């Protein structure tokens, strides 16, 4: 036998083995990773791991590794670092108000082609979600975020504390005037009981402040342009004056910066009559509050308004087509009515997909826990979540001033002016290359 014939026979014998190797490789699941945050209290990290294990066990095509990445701000930093290192995660549950910045920086892929391959237009696909979620998900007409866990701030109040203060728990404060009155009446000296508490920490602080500004009739930022905020507008000055009144004049809010744990701890112990917290903490409060409590809309001045909060699923740039397809399979599963409803019942976030509330389990849940419907009812007054160029830094320009105000280190007028000046400087690079850019 010649060398040529032996080589040909060897190649022929090797061909089936090579095919088997290729077939085995084709049968292997596509391995992807998911970054996810835990921005509210509770056992959310463990539950997310359980969900991903279920997903992996229900289908053979995709294998997901879920990585807990801390707060929304931490998740943002870690995602950007991974993109820059050339190792982006396939999908991320990202704060919905960071989506616009990822688009501005060209760090995220749109979902439009994936939606199209399923026979839908982007608009038809987004029609399945609550309309209030669209502004933070659709940028320049393209879908960059798929809503997953969403929230509005709520007013939590203790029934026993209300009765003790001579207030009617069936009629919580609906206006700012009623809110101040209730806070003053609920307050007991020497920190025995505060009238109101809210988290003044980064992210939470800006979210709540934006809601106050908008319920005072104003706009906190330009919803259609990433380079403009209205921190020194009269509506913002009024919101800061409300906080100053309750903290520094009436002493109805504890001075300084409280975090979410301090707020809930005081609420559970009866040391605050009211608190402002995300609906995403509803299940945590329900499990730990031993005395009766209720939730209500955020009180209004000129109008009802509540900023949308929570997280959306995004696809960071730099992934292969195979990983994008695998991520899309995961996204569709996580945002299905069944899983969306299940996550809502576990956490307190409202389910972003409308069809979730048509399921028997969700109907029974809302009937058993009417407080779960308050955030949903508040959606008719929902406004987009703060999203700009350099979101975190621009957000902190106001948050730093609010924190100073809570510690009596500044005045409302000084805080508004300083916040605007700081934000304008941070936004300047984007403004100069967009709105101020003139043709040659």
Residue 9 pLDDT more than 60?
no
Q: ∠ at Cα 78 (77, 83), nearest 5°?
A: 100
Polymer length in residues for the chain: 440
319-358 CB burial, b ≥16 within 10 A, e <16: beeebbbbbbbbbebbbebebbbbbbbbbbbbbbbeebbe
Report pLDDT digits (tens) over 179-234: 999 999 999 999 999 999 999 999 999 999 999 999 999 999 999 999 999 999 99
Q: What is the DSSP letter of 188?
A: B
Task: Say what the pLDDT of residue 181 is.
Answer: 98
Confidence (pLDDT) at 16? 52
171 plus 159 within the same structural domain? yes
Residue 42: pLDDT band (50, 70, 90) is low
Please check whether residue 377 lies inside any domain of the structure: no
As a whole number of angstroms, the distance between CA 146 and CA 158 comes to 35
Instruction: Return the structure tokens found at 211.
Output: 């809601």
- Provide the pLDDT for residue 44: 80
Is residue 245 domain-shared with residue 178, that is, in the same domain? yes
Identify the pLDDT of residue 436.
74
Q: Which residues pair with 306 in a beta bridge?
A: 382
The confidence score (pLDDT) of residue 45 equals 84
**Whole-prediction pTM:** 0.90
Together in a domain, 190 and 250? yes
Task: Give the pLDDT of residue 435.
Answer: 83
Q: Is position 403 within any domain? A: yes
Residue 3, pLDDT > 60, answer no
Per-chain mean pLDDT for the chain? 92
Residue 38: which pLDDT band, with cuts at 50, 70 and 90?
A: confident
Q: What CA–CA distance (Å, rounded) separates 294 from 169?
A: 8
Strand, helix or coil for residue 226: coil
pLDDT, residue 33, reads 97
| Contact indicator for 244, 252 with CB cutoff of 8 Å | no
Q: Say whether both 259 and 111 belong to one domain.
A: no
In a domain, 6, yes or no: no
pLDDT of residue 135: 94
Q: Which two tokens stand for residue 169?
A: 């728990």
> What is the distance of C-alpha 330 from the center of its chain?
19
Within-domain flag for 296:
yes
The percentage of the chain sitting over the pLDDT mark of 90, rounded to a whole number, equals: 89
Q: Which of 154, 111, 109 is nearest to 129 (CA)?
A: 111
> CA 349 to CA 343: how far, in whole Å?
8
The token pair at 383 is: 């406004």
Number of domains in the chain: 2
Does position 81 have pLDDT exceeding 70, yes or no? yes
pLDDT at 223: 92
Which residues constitute the domain of residue 50? 29-151+309-368
Instruction: Give yes or no for residue 11 having a pLDDT over 60.
Output: no
CB-count burial class (<10 Å; 0-12, 13-18, 19+) for 118? exposed
Predicted pLDDT at 391 = 96
**425 and 350 within one domain:** no
Cα distance between residue 287 and residue 235, in whole Å? 37
- The CATH number of the domain holding residue 165 is 3.40.190.10
In a domain, 224, yes or no: yes
Q: Note whether 428 and 290 are same-domain residues.
A: yes
User: 258-310 pLDDT, tens per residue?
Assistant: 999 999 999 999 999 999 999 999 999 999 999 999 999 999 999 999 999 99
> How confident is the model over 379-398, as a mean pLDDT?
96
Is 380 inside a domain boundary?
Answer: no
In terms of domains, do 113 and 137 share one?
A: yes
Does 437 have pLDDT greater than 80?
no
pLDDT band for 26, please (50, 70, 90 cuts).
low
Same domain, 290 and 313: no
The Cβ of residue 204 has, within 10 Å, a number of other Cβ atoms equal to 25
Instruction: Find the distance separating the first CA and the last CA of the chain, reported in whole Å.
Output: 77
**Residue-level pLDDT at 1:** 44
Other beta carbons within 10 angstroms of residue 313's beta carbon come to: 25
Give the pLDDT band of residue 29 (cuts 50, 70, 90): very high
Asked whether the predicted pLDDT for residue 366 surpasses 80, the reply is yes
User: pLDDT: is 22 or 31 the higher one?
Assistant: 31
Identify whether the C-beta of residue 428 lies closer than 8 Å to the C-beta of residue 397: no
Q: What average pLDDT score do residues 383-392 get? A: 94
Residue 9 lies in a domain: no
pLDDT band at 245 (very low <50, low <70, confident <90, very high): very high
Whether residues 146 and 52 share a domain: the answer is yes
Average pLDDT over residues 403-410: 98
Is there a single domain that holds both residue 326 and residue 303?
no
Whether residue 277 lies inside any domain: the answer is yes
Position 439 scores a pLDDT of: 62
CA angle (429 as vertex; 426, 430 as ends), nearest 5: 95
- Given a contact cutoff of 8 angstroms between Cβ atoms, the answer to whether 325 and 30 are in contact is yes
SS3 (DSSP) at 217: coil
Q: Determine the Cα–Cα distance for residues 209 and 214; give it in Å rounded to an integer.
A: 9
Question: Are 267 and 349 members of one domain?
Answer: no
Inform me whether the pLDDT recorded for 368 exceeds 50: yes
| Res 22 pLDDT > 50 | no
Question: Over 60: is that where the pLDDT of 320 sits?
Answer: yes
Number of Cβ within 10 Å of residue 14's Cβ equals: 10
Q: Is the pLDDT of residue 4 over 50?
A: no
Q: Are residues 253 and 285 in the same domain?
A: yes
- The arithmetic mean of pLDDT across residues 27-46, rounded, is 84
Residue 162 to residue 28: CA distance in whole angstroms: 60
Q: 106-158: per-residue pLDDT in tens? A: 999 999 999 999 999 999 999 999 999 999 999 999 999 999 999 999 999 99
Q: What letter does residue 390 receive in the DSSP assignment?
A: T
Tens-digit pLDDT profile for residues 46-75: 889 999 999 999 999 999 999 999 999 999
């Amino acid at each position: 036998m010649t060398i040529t014939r032996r080589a040909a026979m060897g190649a022929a014998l090797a061909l089936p083995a090579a095919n088997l190797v290729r077939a085995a490789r084709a049968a292997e699941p596509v391995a992807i990773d998911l970054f996810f945050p835990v921005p509210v209290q509770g056992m959310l990290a463990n539950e997310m791991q359980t969900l991903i294990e279920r997903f992996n066990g229900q289908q053979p095509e995709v294998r997901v590794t879920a990585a807990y990445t801390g707060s929304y701000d931490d998740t943002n930093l870690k995602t950007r670092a991974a993109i820059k290192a050339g190792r982006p995660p396939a999908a991320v549950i990202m704060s919905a108000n960071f989506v616009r910045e990822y688009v501005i920086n060209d760090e995220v892929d749109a979902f439009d082609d994936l939606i199209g391959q399923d026979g839908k237009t982007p608009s038809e696909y987004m029609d399945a979600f609550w309309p209030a979620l669209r502004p933070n998900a659709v940028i320049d007409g393209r879908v960059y975020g798929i809503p997953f866990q969403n929230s509005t701030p709520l007013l939590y109040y203790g029934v026993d504390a209300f009765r003790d203060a001579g207030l009617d728990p069936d009629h919580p404060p609906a206006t700012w005037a009623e809110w101040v009155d209730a806070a003053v009446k609920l307050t007991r000296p020497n920190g025995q009981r505060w009238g109101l508490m809210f988290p003044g920490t980064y992210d939470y602080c800006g979210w709540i402040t934006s809601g106050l500004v908008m319920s005072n009739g104003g706009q906190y930022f330009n919803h259609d342009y990433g380079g403009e905020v209205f921190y020194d507008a009269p509506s913002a000055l009024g919101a800061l004056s409300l906080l100053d009144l309750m903290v520094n004049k009436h002493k109805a809010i504890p001075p300084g910066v409280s975090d979410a744990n301090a707020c809930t701890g005081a609420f559970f112990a009866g040391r605050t009559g009211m608190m402002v917290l995300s609906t995403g903490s509803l299940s945590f409060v329900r499990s730990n509050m031993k005395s009766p409590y209720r939730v209500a809309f955020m009180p209004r001045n000129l109008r009802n308004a509540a900023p949308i909060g929570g997280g959306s699923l995004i696809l960071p740039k730099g992934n292969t087509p195979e990983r994008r397809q695998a991520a899309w399979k995961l996204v569709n599963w996580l945002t299905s009515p069944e899983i969306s409803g299940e996550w809502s019942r576990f956490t307190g976030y409202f389910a972003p997909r409308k069809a979730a509330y048509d399921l028997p389990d969700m109907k029974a849940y809302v009937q058993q826990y009417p407080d779960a419907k308050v955030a949903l009812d508040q959606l008719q007054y929902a406004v987009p979540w703060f999203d700009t160029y350099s979101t975190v830094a621009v957000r902190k320009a106001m948050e730093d001033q609010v924190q100073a105000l809570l510690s009596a280190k500044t005045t409302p007028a000084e805080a508004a002016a300083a916040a605007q000046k700081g934000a304008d400087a941070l936004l300047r690079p984007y403004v100069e290359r967009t709105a101020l850019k003139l043709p040659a």
